[in-house]
């Protein structure tokens, strides 16, 4: 069975790509992924905050004691910032390229303009086959418009594309007011691929400590529907590659992603929860399903249930909203839909 696919100009042996997670931090984890059948891997992200923290730490170390006597103030130049590069990340890319035969996709995670170019070039020179830009941004300012936010994404992409030749994918949130138009503008600006969607990890409230606390919840298959819908809507209308992430946990999820129009399906939560070996099981299941349903290749399935190829295109739009709401019988126990609450 031919499971090959093409993503970001890379020829891949199948659509299974582990996404950015702690599992990609070690060479051992990366080797296990390749052995289990991964066709490419997305490395853990290099965070803007990490770089800033290292730069500030170096700054404090260099300036420590300079106030002890006046003459010492002249020992160091007054530079606006110290270029303390992410050496560990760059070296990890180099080691991964030496150890693996599958493509390595690096990941940058940040929000500020200006810093992308500095490290995108280093990542390319280290040997990364492609780069994923993950802009994790929550616009909380009441004075910032949606147009301002969109321009920030476009500017980050333009900065990176101006300094690298490797393919660049944009990993997006689902919260744009006009998702289709934003995707179109990113493709026109040079995005080689779009990754739908990143997950915004919501903080929780600790009532005992009266504190806001971080809370990591792994994804579930129900989260698949949102990226599935948008990939199905945009497939064939934008000339770019789509990667489906969030909610990919089993064979069915992978097949749905391909049928919607995705080039690859990415997973992290499933591997964190049930082990890297799940890749081999899911790959075998995808191949078995295609054979049982008389497909000759994965490509035959791709986009077959996208909006442009679907027998009922309105199913992706408002008409389906009304149908879903009217499909519940009046005798359905509404209490099953209600979360547990405290009286």
DSSP string across 233-274: HHBTTBSSEEEE-SS--SHHHHHHHHHHT-SEEEESHHHHHH
Q: pLDDT grade, residue 191 (50/70/90)?
A: very high
The pLDDT, as a whole number, for residue 328 is: 60
Q: Residue 78 and residue 96: Cα distance in Å, rounded?
A: 38
For residue 38, CA distances in Å to 110, 246, 279 come to: 26, 17, 7
Mean pLDDT of the chain: 84
Q: pLDDT grade, residue 323 (50/70/90)?
A: low
Over residues 146-170, the mean pLDDT reads 95
Contact of 156 with 190, CB cutoff 8 Å: no
Whole-angstrom Cα Rg for the chain: 23
Name, in order, each residue with C-beta under 8 angstroms of 247's C-beta and a sequence gap of 6 or more.
219, 220, 221, 222, 223, 224, 225, 227, 253
> Has residue 72 got a pLDDT over 90?
no
CATH of 5-337, one of 3.30.1490.20, 3.30.460.10, 3.20.20.70, 3.50.30.10: 3.20.20.70
Over residues 232-260, the mean pLDDT reads 97
Over residues 267-274, the mean pLDDT reads 96
Please write the tens of the pLDDT for every residue from 291-302: 999 999 999 999
Name, in order, each residue with C-beta under 8 angstroms of 275's C-beta and a sequence gap of 6 or more.
none
The pTM of the full predicted model, rounded to 2 decimals, is 0.84
């Amino acid at each position: 069975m031919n499971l090959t696919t093409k993503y970001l100009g890379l020829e891949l042996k199948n659509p299974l790509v582990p996404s950015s997670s702690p599992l990609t931090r070690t060479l051992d984890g990366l080797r296990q992924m390749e052995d289990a059948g991964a066709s490419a891997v997305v490395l853990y992200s290099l965070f803007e905050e990490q770089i800033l923290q290292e730069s500030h730490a170096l700054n404090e170390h260099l300036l420590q004691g300079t106030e002890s006597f006046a003459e010492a103030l002249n020992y160091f130049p007054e530079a606006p910032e110290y270029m303390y590069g992410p050496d560990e990340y760059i070296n990890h890319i180099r080691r991964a390229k030496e150890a693996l035969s599958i493509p390595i996709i690096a990941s940058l995670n940040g929000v500020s303009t200006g810093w992308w170019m500095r490290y995108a070039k280093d990542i390319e020179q280290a040997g990364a086959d492609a780069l994923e830009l993950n802009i994790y941004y929550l616009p909380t300012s009441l004075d910032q418009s949606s147009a301002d936010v969109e321009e920030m994404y476009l500017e980050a992409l333009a900065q990176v594309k101006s300094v690298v030749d490797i393919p660049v994918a944009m990993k997006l949130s689902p919260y744009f007011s006009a998702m289709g138009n934003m995707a179109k503008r990113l493709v026109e600006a040079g995005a080689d691929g779009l990754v739908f969607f990143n997950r915004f990890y919501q903080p929780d409230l600790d009532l005992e400590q009266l504190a806001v606390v971080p809370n990591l919840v792994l994804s579930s298959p129900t989260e698949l529907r949102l990226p599935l819908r948008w990939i199905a809507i945009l497939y064939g209308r934008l000339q770019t590659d789509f990667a489906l992430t969030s909610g990919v946990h089993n064979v069915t999820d992978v097949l749905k992603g391909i049928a919607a129009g995705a080039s690859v399906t990415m997973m992290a939560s499933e591997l964190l929860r049930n082990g890297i070996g799940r890749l081999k099981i899911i790959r075998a299941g995808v191949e078995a399903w295609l054979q049982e349903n008389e497909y000759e290749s994965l490509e035959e399935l791709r986009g077959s249930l996208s909006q442009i190829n679907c027998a009922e295109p309105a199913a992706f739009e408002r008409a389906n909203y009304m149908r879903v709401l009217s499909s519940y019988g009046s005798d359905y126990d509404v209490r099953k839909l209600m979360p547990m609450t405290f009286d």
